[in-house]
Amino acid sequence: MRSEILLIDDEKDIRFAVHEILKEDNFFVREADTVEKALSEIKKKLPDLVILDVLLDEKNRDGIDILKFIKLIDADVPVIMISGHANIKIAVDSIKLGAFEFLEKPFNKDRLLNFVHRAIETSSLKKENKSLKKNLYSSNELIGNSSTIVKLRNAIDKFSKTDSRILISGPAGSGKELVCRLIHEGSLRSNNSFKVVNGAILDPSHFDFELFGSENNDKIISGIFEKSNNGTLLIDNISDVPLQTQGKILRVLSDQKFHRVNGANEISVNIRVVCSTSKNLKEEIAHGNFREDLFHRINVIPIETPHLKDIKEDIPFLIEYFIKRISESNGLKPIFINSKNTIFYDYNWPGNVRELRNLVERVVILASGKDEDVDKILSESLKISSVKENNNDDAFQFPLKEAREKFEKNYLEIQLNRHNGNVSKTADYIGMERSALHRKLKSLGIN
């Protein structure tokens, strides 16, 4: 698939020249000549690479502001800054803010293409490494011997043989995506693609591009529905999809047909759609946040994943499994963690299995090859539980909405502090997309 480049420059001649160079090298190029158009294109769809002029059409906003905006959305998108009026300070500031390279005008074709190829290659390696790490710590087994887990295994085995739509409900970090993957692997579609789209980050302004793809003359970009053809598509956090977007999903589920953006031909697909949610959809319907007709369409077979606090008898099996996987992946000698330690059973595990996995990883890395006290690392990692509970003792004196906001603010501040203010690590730990967490932090007034 061709890499997509967003070219942002207010000089028409520069855009034409760079566009031709990139087009000859088989890149797909989008253009923007103003700050507003640039921001609009970025919101529609993040490209594989951005070539960005420092000075644009506005006095109050320039390329540096756009660079910051891009890095806020996705720090791994490479940005090559260009300028004909550059100075050392601008170049240094750009690199400090995350620009891949700084290129001064006029530049030759070979130098430009060298930067472009290196940037895309570096970005691809980062994505591959992230994917490998994610898959490395993602079990393809449902670990545990509790009656709840046994029942869940039986449901997966039974329903994977059908092609019915499934709604997986459960708290964040409880393994909803794992359940869907196991269903896909046990189905007749197992040799075809398994795709995941997160409803929490679907922006209505570019939803059509992401899900349906687009056509521009002879250039075709496939959306997630088309990429999932003959396979399984998990719509994660379906509860967070905006209402207007829910209607579009309903039409695809009903007809298994759609049009690409700017496309004349109707595209037919054969997809098994599985949805997941951490919220009570019936309550969301009652509050006007979710379509009842969509609920009935996706809730053919309901499956629930449990809170870890409700299956604590499975903690020893999970700890043993994670120690083995994490030690092997890091080339470390397995350490001993006493799974009978009461700290595991006194804690409520708000992050569920994902939180336990992250805790085991922390212990394995910190304690391996050192004289570190495993119990000390465990107690320091989980000491926030008492703080969190004490800080929410007065929640009952507030209305539900205000109490929820106070809890969310307290919880997120604690998690951010735990991860030294790193939003990406915090988002991964609590089971949210980074962009969704940024919006939540802003809405709660957390800096």
What average pLDDT does this structure show over 235-243? 89
Percent of the chain with pLDDT over 70: 89
Task: Say what the pLDDT of residue 391 is.
Answer: 47
Task: Say what the pLDDT of residue 176 is.
Answer: 95
Q: What is the pLDDT of residues 259-308, one digit of tens each?
A: 888 888 888 999 999 999 999 999 999 999 999 999 999 999 999 999 99
- Residue type present at position 20: E
Task: Say what the pLDDT of residue 132 is.
Answer: 53
Q: CA angle, 12 as apex, 70 and 121 as ends, to 5°? A: 40
- For residues 34 and 49, give the distance between their C-alpha atoms in angstroms, rounded to a whole number: 18
Domains for the chain: give ranges and CATH numbers.
4-134 (3.40.50.2300), 147-306 (3.40.50.300), 310-443 (1.10.8.60)
| Residue 429 φ/ψ, nearest 5 degrees | -65, -40
Task: Say what the pLDDT of residue 400 is.
Answer: 61
Q: What is the pLDDT of residues 97-140, one digit of tens each?
A: 899 999 888 888 998 999 999 999 888 877 766 665 555 444 56
| Residue 342 φ/ψ, nearest 5 degrees | -60, -20
Q: What is the gyration radius of the CA atoms in the chain, in angstroms?
A: 24
Regarding predicted confidence, which is higher, 93 or 308?
A: 308
Task: Say what the pLDDT of residue 303 is.
Answer: 97
Task: Say what the pLDDT of residue 61 is.
Answer: 86
Q: What is the pLDDT of residues 368-404, one digit of tens each?
A: 656 567 888 888 888 644 444 444 444 444 566 666 7
Q: Long-range contacts of range 366-370, CB-CB < 8 Å, 24 or more positions apart?
A: 367/335, 368/327, 368/330, 368/332, 368/333, 368/335, 369/332, 369/333
Task: Say what the pLDDT of residue 55 is.
Answer: 86
Contact indicator for 228, 275 with CB cutoff of 8 Å: no
